[in-house]
Amino acid sequence: MRLRNENLKTGKALTWIDPAGRWRTRALLFLVQGADDIDVLSGIQSVCDRHIAERGYGGFAWRAVADPGQISLVDNRLFNADLARFEAAEFGGLDPDSLATLLKPVIDHIVAGDAEMLPRAGGAVGSPAEGIQFLNRLAELDSLASRVRAGESLFLHAPRRMGKTSLMRRLQAVLDGDHKTIALNIERDPTPAEVAARFRSLAAGEGYRTAQRSVQSNPMGALRESTGSVCRNSDKPLVLFIDELAALFEGIRQQNAGEGSRRSEVLAFLSALAEPLAEHGARLVIAGSVDCLDYLRAELGLPQEQLPGLFSRMQRVSLKPLDFRHPECELRRVLLGSAIVATPEDLDWLHDHVDLTVPFPALKFLDLLVSEVKRAGSAGPAQCQELFRDFVATTESFDDFDAHIRRKVQEVRNAAETISAALDLIAREPFESGVSEGQVQAILMELGPAVAATLQSWLLETFPVLTEASRVKFASRFFRHWWRSQMRDGAPDGDE
């Protein structure tokens, strides 16, 4: 694979001048190098024209471009900053359906006035995915928004790097307008007193440091009063978003030696927060890599039905790995957004090793790969394989899965060995076929029937594992490669 050649001299541009005059002008320039590109360009034009006609979009026109450096000669309303360059060759070998999957969203983003049209490999590495970087949870987003509007409170559970924080932030943006939304960051405010200060600051308009001094004598009372005040002062229903609430419970555990005092403080905090929210018809949306409801039951003996207010009625939503109808096209979108041109051999290698099902590690690796291509000028499958092997051996992107296993050991003796044996079994089989569900159940049954049933459900909710037609398989090729690299008897990467 190599960097896109944006210095090609001829091509054809799909230009857009907004008929309503709302947005900046845009142009998609498809550069051609030789006769082989003509048929590709014809297919691109056909797909784009069909989508524009079906949507009834105005303002689009195709223009021949002899000098991309002087796009204003094509139309004096166009500028180089409005021009997105591609090589026609980047779309070679794609059937009309695949072309449509790639290009239709780009046209929609242009008409919507969006600044970005394609996701990039490094666009969401190290931060929540926003805008174009938010990948493929739109159906879940609509469902969650409908449930919150109907009055439900939700707990979104998924391992780290699965996109739950990005989804929660997008959900907040969708609900903001017909609801008052507030987001609490437990990493920033990790104690009940700091949460109380944050709410007092919102309720009274005080600076945060002043609010901290005000709540010192009675944090729980201040939290209750301030939460109620925030609700009363809003003319819209309140939705409170909290990320990683279990971190606050863990902080309480570390500061209190006795289980009784820990239970009392946790219940006091939950009551001070939940009761005023319930009184004013507010909702809660909590996201976490640690299941806070499971944590309260296992660590403090507090089953959900004994929790106060909204916490007792909260519905658990386990976020599944991303499921793309056209996974190869989704990967191509990232390559297009990253200005990388891949050969058929490169694409075959990527298909066998990288997918966006668990997005963070895949995007992080692709970002590393793009950097290598920029440094070296190109990278073939052999270089990709070497880079991949080093990445898989050293990445911390999957550490949270190991943490989940260690946490499960606290509840179920010998769980680590049994879980690992089950995942090893799945990993040894070809990715496409997986292993029979009965074989996985036989391993889990070593811990007893009741534990086996619970553990199988936990395995499917916690790891990128799915069941289809009585077969259990990994949902992510990338995760499978990583897990195989951890196995004592794991085969080399790519060896089935």
Dump pLDDT digits (tens) for 344-375: 999 999 999 998 888 888 889 999 999 999 99
Cross-strand partners of 64? 12
Where is average pLDDT lowest: 251-255, 303-307, 332-336, 352-356? 251-255
Q: Are residues 109 and 218 in the same domain?
A: no
- What is the per-residue pLDDT across 264-274, written as a single tens digit (0 to 9) for each? 899 999 999 99
CA 132/CA 110 separation, integer angstroms: 12
Q: Are residues 168 and 82 in the same domain?
A: no
Instruction: Examine residue 495 and state whether it is found in any structural domain, yes or no.
Output: no
CA 1/CA 335 separation, integer angstroms: 10
pLDDT of residue 166: 80
Instruction: Examine residue 327 and state whether it is found in any structural domain, yes or no.
Output: no
Distances (CA, A) of 82 to 13, 52, 69, 163, 317: 11, 19, 12, 31, 41
Q: Are residues 183 and 259 in the same domain?
A: yes
Q: Are residues 198 and 286 in the same domain?
A: yes
Instruction: Examine residue 368 and state whether it is found in any structural domain, yes or no.
Output: no
CB-based contact 183:346 (threshold 8 Å): no
Instruction: Examine residue 381 and state whether it is found in any structural domain, yes or no.
Output: no
Q: Are residues 167 and 299 in the same domain?
A: yes
Q: Are residues 305 and 184 in the same domain?
A: yes
pLDDT beyond 80 at 127: no
Domain count, the chain: 3
Which of 303, 318, 333 is the C-terminal boundary of a domain?
A: 318
DSSP string, 439-479: HHHHHHGGG-HHHHHHHHHHHHHHSSEEEETTEEEES-HHH
- What is the per-residue pLDDT across 424-471, written as a single tens digit (0 to 9) for each? 999 999 999 999 999 999 999 998 888 888 888 888 878 888 888 999
Q: Which of 245, 190, 240, 201 is nearest to 223 (CA)?
A: 201
DSSP string, 85-116: EEEGGGGTT--HHHHHHHHHHHHHHHHTT-S-
CA 337/CA 131 separation, integer angstroms: 13
CA 300/CA 311 separation, integer angstroms: 15
Which of 271, 298, 318 is the C-terminal boundary of a domain?
A: 318
pLDDT beyond 70 at 134: no
Environment class of 376 (CB within 10 Å of its CB; exposed 0-12, middle 13-18, buried 19+): exposed
Q: Are residues 185 and 288 in the same domain?
A: yes
Instruction: Examine residue 235 and state whether it is found in any structural domain, yes or no.
Output: yes
Instruction: Examine residue 155 and state whether it is found in any structural domain, yes or no.
Output: yes
Q: What is the greatest pairwise CA distance in the chain?
A: 79
Q: CATH number of the domain at 478, please.
A: 1.10.10
Which domain range does residue 219 map to? 137-318
Mean pLDDT of the chain: 87
Q: CATH number of the domain at 183, please.
A: 3.40.50.300
pLDDT of residue 185: 83
pLDDT beyond 90 at 335: yes
Which of 70, 85, 117 is the C-terminal boundary of a domain?
A: 117
The residue type at 309: G
Q: Are residues 159 and 97 in the same domain?
A: no
Instruction: Examine residue 127 and state whether it is found in any structural domain, yes or no.
Output: no
Q: Kindly report the pTM of this predicted structure.
A: 0.79
Q: Are residues 73 and 154 in the same domain?
A: no
Quick one: average pLDDT of 81-100? 91
Q: How confident is the model at residue 495 (pLDDT cuts 50, 70, 90)?
A: very low
Q: How confident is the model at residue 492 (pLDDT cuts 50, 70, 90)?
A: very low
pLDDT beyond 60 at 489: no
DSSP string, 313-325: HPEEEEPPPP--S
Instruction: Examine residue 361 and state whether it is found in any structural domain, yes or no.
Output: no
Q: Are residues 38 and 113 in the same domain?
A: yes
Q: Are residues 228 and 274 in the same domain?
A: yes
Q: Are residues 98 and 195 in the same domain?
A: no
